[in-house]
Amino acid sequence: MTASRILVTLTLLAVLATVTACGRKAGLDTPYEAAVQARKDAQKAEQPVPPEPEKPVKDKKFILDPLI
């Protein structure tokens, strides 16, 4: 391989690595929040509404939680 091919390959790899790092940086939705949002979207689009999601149970403390 010639030096120009190596340079082109490295440039393409750098571009691909940069593009794959793009995205929306935000907090993750819990399954409950996602289900509520799906219901709202279905109502807005006048589609069949999924069943009402159950509220999650309160988080219980665990002895190893402080390690996280």
Mean pLDDT for the stretch of residues 32-56: 90
Predicted confidence (pLDDT) per residue in 7-22, tens digit: 999 999 988 877 776 6
Q: What pLDDT sits at residue 9?
A: 92
Q: What is the DSSP string of 41-63?
A: HHHHTT-PPPPPPPPPPPPPP-T
Mean pLDDT (the chain, rounded): 85
Q: 34 or 25: which carries more pLDDT confidence?
A: 34
Single pTM value for the model: 0.48
Q: Which residue has the higher pLDDT, 23 or 34?
A: 34
Under DSSP, the state recorded for 68 is -
pLDDT of residue 23: 66
